Every structure is written in structure tokens, then in C-alpha cells.
A and B are shown apart, each in its own frame.
Chain A
Amino acid sequence: MSASGTDPALPLEIHDLTVAYHKKPVLYGIDLEIPAGKLVGVVGPNGAGKSTLIKAIMGLLPASSGWVKVFGKPYRESCHRVGYVPQRESVDWDFPVSVMDVVLMGRYGRLRLAQRPTRHDREIARECLEKVRMLPFANRQIGNLSGGQQQRVFLARALAQESDLYLMDEPFVGVDAATETAIITLLRELQSRGKTLIVVHHDLSSVREYFDMLVLLNMRLVAAGPTREIFTQEILQATYGGRLTILSDVAQAIGEGG
């Protein structure tokens, strides 16, 4: 895969994106440009639409208006350059697959229909498991892992995708301090190799330390830019300071009317 640095197109460009659940808008008119090689935190209160933004970028949720371009193309044409870490609760951990099986799924995007993973794919999956220090658990059924271990398996799966842009939905939820440090170290390493990472995060206390760019959301884009410039009392107040009463009232009315 080409390194992002040499690619003239932006990893992510969003124009006037509006997303609605059951006709009730949760994201309004988002405009966003993410330059290559950034470690970006997506921050905002509960229900601000952080996960919705991630899903809408990948077309998992339909946009009511606006467009998304990934490396200058529609998502479908660039999907092989995007790695994804969904929320941990989004899957059934009793599902009868092993840790290795799950990490190999990261390679499926590169395989043809009906093609089995090759020895090369297995080798990459092993390396990715080693990076998150989960190789000793490769043959375990995924339900027999702690929350932090499950999160690391998801991370290894995203690593196995060998992408240029990573979208991560709450990778720090339910993990212990040691795992959190290990994950952030790994993210920095990816960043140093020119990858772009967009990470949904909920813990304001570590934001300044972790991310060099922030996207502050509350149903609409409050601010986006370098952390040291926009992580200010004033902007945080604007992001978290109460619900946007009129906006959410209108959303409610549209939801009921539709």
C-alpha cells in the first residue's frame, strides 16, 4: 500500500453531512477535513453522534445529505484503505470463533470472494497478535477473554487490515490502565508510519495527552483543529454546556412528525 504521505488527496473529507436515525437527525451539516498522519480524537457528550459519524463515514448509516470522500474517492472505492475498530459490545462474544479467526477477518477485505486466507495472511495475523501481546491466546475462544483482551483482539484485527486510515469507536472503554497505555503506544507507532487515526474518545482528562488534533461534536461540529488551539474552556463549554435545547427540540418534533 502506498504511504499516505505521498498521496495528494486528504484521508478524509466530509461536506455538509447530515445523518438521521428513524427520520430523527443526529448529525447536522458536518464539514470536516482531516490531513494525513494525524492522531485525531472525536470528543463530545453522550448522544452527540460520535459513533454515528464514524458509521456514516463508512456508509454503515445512510446520509440524508452531504458527501464523504476517503482519499479523494467515495468510501466504497477506498474501503480497502480503511481499518475499523467497532465498539466492543457490538458483537456476540459467545460466537464460536477463536482469537486467530477474528484477527484473520481483518484480511478478508483483501481476499477474493470464496478465497481462503493464505499462509501469508496467517503470518500477518500472528504478527498483529504479537504487537498487541495476544499471541499466546490465539487459540482461545473469544468469550474466554477479559474486556481489555477483547479490545486488543479488535485492535489486532484492524492492524491486520494494513490500512492507511483507521476509524476506532471507543477503543479505550472497559480496558485497564496497562492496556490503555499499550494501545496509545501502538496508535502513536502507526501515526509515526504516516497512518491517519480517528478515535472516538470519552475521557476528557487524557485528551490533551493522547491526541494532536480534536473534533468536538455535539450533534453538529463545534470545533475541529489542533488540540492545543481548540481544547479550551470556552470551546468545551460550547460542546458540553447543556443540550442544544432548540436543536434537540426540533429534532424531537421532526422525529414525532415523521
Chain B
Amino acid sequence: MPGTHPRLRAAILRGGGILIFLLLAAPAHAARINELAESTLSGRMVRFFTFQDPSLRYALLGSMLLGICCGLMGAFLVVRKLSLLGDALSHAVLPGVALGFLWGMTKDPLAIFIGATVAGLLGAGTVQLLRHTTRHKEDASIGFVLASFFGVGVCLMTMIQNVPGGNKSGLDKFMFGQAAALGRGDVLLLAVVALLALGAVTVFYKEYTITSFDPGFARSMGLPVQVFHYSLMLLLAFAIVSALQAVGVVLVTAMLVIPAATAFLLTDRLGWLLVLSAVFGMCAGAIGAFFSFVGRNLPTGPFMVLAAAAVFTAAILFGPRHGIVARWWRHVSRSARIRRENTLKSVYHVLEDEGFRSEQVDARELAERRRETIEEAQAQLNTLRRHGLATLSGDGISASLTPEGWQRACEIVRNHRLWELYLTNAAQIAADHVHEDAEKIEHVLGEETVRRLEKRLNNARRDPHGRLIPGLEDIRLGAGARPTPPQPTGYGAPDPPAP
């Protein structure tokens, strides 16, 4: 690649080398491929993105089609909690692949397709049989079928490798997948299966949804639930078998489960789940094909699965609702709000202790009240100012609440005292036990709950400790343009003197 900066080129090559090393864990092999890459890596990248190579076009198209297919079927597996069945089915097809090859001693796509499908269905049937005739549940049955069928498959594959010409059959590619080995027939098969899956899911969306969600109810309405269940299993077997060549027996289950599991993190509607799952599957397929082609003769399956797993990790981290980052952010902003509200409450307490004669609160008084240093109290007041809840004096040592600040302070104190009163009056909890609970509840009480509490407590004016509960009137006055916090009146008026 003339004109490229040599160090950049070296870095790209080293990156490629590391990937290859990780994959094969065989340094000698890695070195050999690295040599190949030396000469043509950049050239192959150019060729990839210009789609000159017909074998590349097949590989890319095939990988994307298998991604769509597996994504759609995987979505149903995940929502039906049958992910393990996909695993069993994909391992059970291996003996079928070998037998399909032995049928004509050639890699005939159709013979292998039929052999693998029959073996897969046999595996799924065995799982059902074990579940119904023995005391084993699905997990043990799946474990048995998966391992024993796979064992038979590996034995047959080894035998084929040992017969003359067998090791050149390309059958070994079925273990980890080789998208570059996809021929015209393979892609045609993938297209047919993808079309079938897409068509069935679109046309019978309603039926597949209800039989997945509530099969008992579906049967009570006279729907042929078993027909839809087995048609889904048949489509699943088709998807797995047609995907084998490109993604491999070992990892095809990941292409079923990971895109769907990723989509499940991002949406709670089945329609979107299907769309997203198919799109993720398609992208993973394309990325897998890219690396397989650029790295020449690398197995495709692991790269597809790694790409899918990367998207899954990103969804776990950055998903808008259930993502870790979003959850962390919600937690942080809630904690900050609670801190602000606690400061407002302290300001109210200071004003209350002074009988509401002044509207100014000193940072020192606040610090004493909150058992903090003056600097900490000043920082808190500054936060209130930034949120428009208070204004600071020129020297920054005293503050007064804005109307919004006064309103929120009244609400928090009201929530706290109402809740204390409710716990002591209605729940018969001792007055000295209620403060801790009210400290948490005050921040989450909605207006509707407050209204209900007030009604339940007959608009009581004093909390269990004899302090006035700020009323609607106080909150409204504060929210108006009144310059000074008024003397709270509590609910109703006039108020008798405090005991």
C-alpha cells in the first residue's frame, strides 16, 4: 500500500496479528498468516469494500442472511425461554452433516441440509421424549442430547477426515464456520430459508405471539397451538442448518441467542424485538464476514459471535432504560436531588427556629444545624443557587430562598411531618420511631398521595412532635412574588398556640 505511513501500517498489522493469535493460539500458524497479511491485508480491505470478488459477495450476502434468519428465530427462543433448546438442536445436527456428506462423498449442500435437519429434529424429539417418559426436566434432557449427538458427530467427522480425500472435503469448516467457502447454492439456500422465516413471522405474527405468550389461552380459543410450535421448531432447524457452513456448529447457538438477548435489553415490544434482533444478527454476520475475508481463511463464526457479543455488552452498558450507565446516572441525579432537598429542609428548620423573623439564612447557622463545616454549608447553598432555589448575598455567607426554593422546602417539610403523623396515628408507631422512615419517604411522596394523607389525617396541623405542618396556603404564598417567607399558617386558620 504505497503512501501509507509505515508506522500506521505496522500498527494495523500488529492488531491483525494479535487477533489471529488469540483465535488460533498457535504462534507458528499466526506467523505464517501474518506473512500472508503482510503482502495483501490492505489490498484485501480495499477489495472487501469494493465488492469486486464474487466469492466475497456470496460470503457477505450469506452471512447477513443467516444473521437475519438466526435473529428472528432466536427472538422467539429467548421470549419462550428456550435458548438451551437452540443449543441442543445446533449440536445435534453434526452427525447429520457427516451422514449427508457420506451419502455421496461430496459436499452437496442439499444432502447435508436434509441430513442435518433430520438429525436436528431427531435431537429435539429425543429431548421431548426424555422429558415426558423419565422424571428428568428439560435441562438434563438437553444436556444429554447435546453431548451425545455431538459426540457421534465428532466421531463421524474424524472418520471422514481419515478416508482418502476426506481431509480435502472442507467438512472441517463446519465446526467453526467459513463464510468464504459459501457457494452460490449455499447462498440460495440461505435466501430461501430467510424468506420462509420472514414470511412466516410476518404473516402469522399474531398467532406466534399468542402461542408463545399464553399457549393455554390460545388453545382455549381453538388455535392449533402445536402446529405453530412445531412450525417454529422446523424453521429454527432450517435456520441452524443453513447457517452451519458460515458460522459453524459450535457457535451457531450464539447467533441465535445473542442478537435476541441484546434486543430484549433495549425494547419491551415483541415487534421491535424481532426487528432489532434481525438487524443485530445481520450486522454481526457482515462484520464476521469482513474479518474472515480480510484475515483470509480465518473461521467466520468466532468473529460473528464476538461482534454480536460487543453489541450485547454495549447494550448492557448504554441501554437507555436498563443500561448500567443510565441506571447509574439516574441514581446519581436522584442522590443530588435528595441532597438539595435536605439542604432546603435545613434552611426551613433554621428559619422556623427563629420564628420566621428573618428571611436570611447564615452559612454558619446552617452548618451548625447540619453538623457540617461552614465550607460544606456554603457549597450546599451554592448548589441551591445554581438550581435557582436560593439567592446568595454578595459575600456568599448568607442566603435567602427564591419562591421556588420556599415552595419546595415547604413541600418537603410537609411531606416529612405528614408521614410522621400518619405513622403515629394510623399505623400506631411510637413517635420517636418515625423520623428515620420519614427521612426517606419525604423525597418520593407524590401530590396525589399527599392529598390522600391529608384527607386521612383530617388536615391535621401539627406533627407528632408538636410542630406546625406547612399547608397549601404557605406553599402557594411562597410560590407567589412575596419577598419574605411568611409565617406558616398550617392547615386551616387560626392556629392555636403550640403546646
Contacts and interface: CB of A to CB of B under 8 A. Distances in A.
A172 B267 CA distance: 31
B219 A76 contact: no
Interface string A91-105: 110011110011001
- Top-3 shortest CB links A-B: A109-B221, A141-B268, A79-B222
A117 B79 contact: no
Contacts of B214: 86, 90-91, 105
A114 B206 contact: yes
Interface in B234-282: 264, 267-270, 273
Nearest to B272: A96
Contacts of B216: 55, 60, 84, 86, 90
A116 B206 contact: yes
B230 interface: no
Given A96-B273, A101-B270, 12 more contacts: A58-B220, A76-B222, A79-B221, A79-B222, A86-B217, A105-B209, A108-B207, A114-B203, A115-B206, A117-B206, A143-B268, A167-B220
Nearest to B274: A96
B222 A91 contact: no
A129 interface: no
Interface in A97-143: 97-98, 101-102, 105, 108-109, 111, 113-117, 141, 143
Interface in A63-85: 76, 79-80, 82, 84
B269 A97 contact: yes
B268 A84 contact: no
B219 A111 contact: no
A110 to B, nearest CB: 9
A59 interface: yes
B71 to A, nearest CB: 15
Contacts of A167: 220
B217 A105 contact: yes
B49 interface: no
Contact of B207 (A58, A114, A143): A114
A89 B166 CA distance: 54
B328 interface: no
B274 to A, nearest CB: 10
Contacts of B81: 92
A82 B222 CA distance: 10
Interface in B209-234: 209-210, 212-214, 216-223
A60 B220 contact: yes
Interface of B: 79, 81, 203-204, 206-207, 209-210, 212-214, 216-223, 264, 267-270, 273
A60 B207 contact: no
Contacts of A143: 268
Contact of A96 (B206, B217, B270): B270
A28 to B, nearest CB: 23
B210 A108 contact: yes
Given A108-B223, A111-B206, A114-B207, A98 B269 contact: yes
A112 to B, nearest CB: 10
Contact of A114 (B204, B267, B269, B270): B204
Q: Which among A82, A101, A117 has the greatest number of chain B C-beta atoms within 10 A?
A: A101
Max count, chain A CB within 10 A of own CB: residue among B79, B216, B219, B270? B216
A108 B220 contact: no
A60 B221 CA distance: 11
Interface of A: 55, 58-60, 76, 79-80, 82, 84, 86, 90-92, 95-98, 101-102, 105, 108-109, 111, 113-117, 141, 143, 157, 161, 167
Nearest to B132: A22
A115 B203 CA distance: 8
Contact of A105 (B203, B210, B269): B210
A58 B267 CA distance: 34
A84 B220 contact: yes
5 contacts: A60-B216, A91-B214, A105-B214, A109-B221, A113-B204
Nearest to B273: A96
Contact of B212 (A58, A95, A111): A95
Interface centre among A92, A98, A161 (most CB of B within 10 A): A92
Interface centre among A84, A117, A161 (most CB of B within 10 A): A84
Given A90-B214, A105-B214, A96 B264 contact: yes
A59 B219 CA distance: 8
B76 to A, nearest CB: 11
A227 to B, nearest CB: 27
A58 B219 CA distance: 8
A159 to B, nearest CB: 14
Nearest to B225: A60
A72 to B, nearest CB: 17
B207 A113 contact: yes
Name, among B209, B264, B270, the residue most crowded by chain A CB atoms within 10 Å (CB to CB): B209
Contact of B222 (A90, A102, A109): A109
Given A84-B217, A84-B220, A96 B210 contact: no
Nearest to A167: B220
B367 to A, nearest CB: 43
A80 B220 CA distance: 9
B220 A82 contact: yes
Contacts of A58: 219-220
A143 B213 CA distance: 13
A91 B212 CA distance: 10
A168 to B, nearest CB: 12
Contacts of B217: 84, 86, 105, 157
A47 to B, nearest CB: 19
Contacts of A113: 204, 207
Contacts of B264: 96
Contacts of A105: 209-210, 213-214, 217
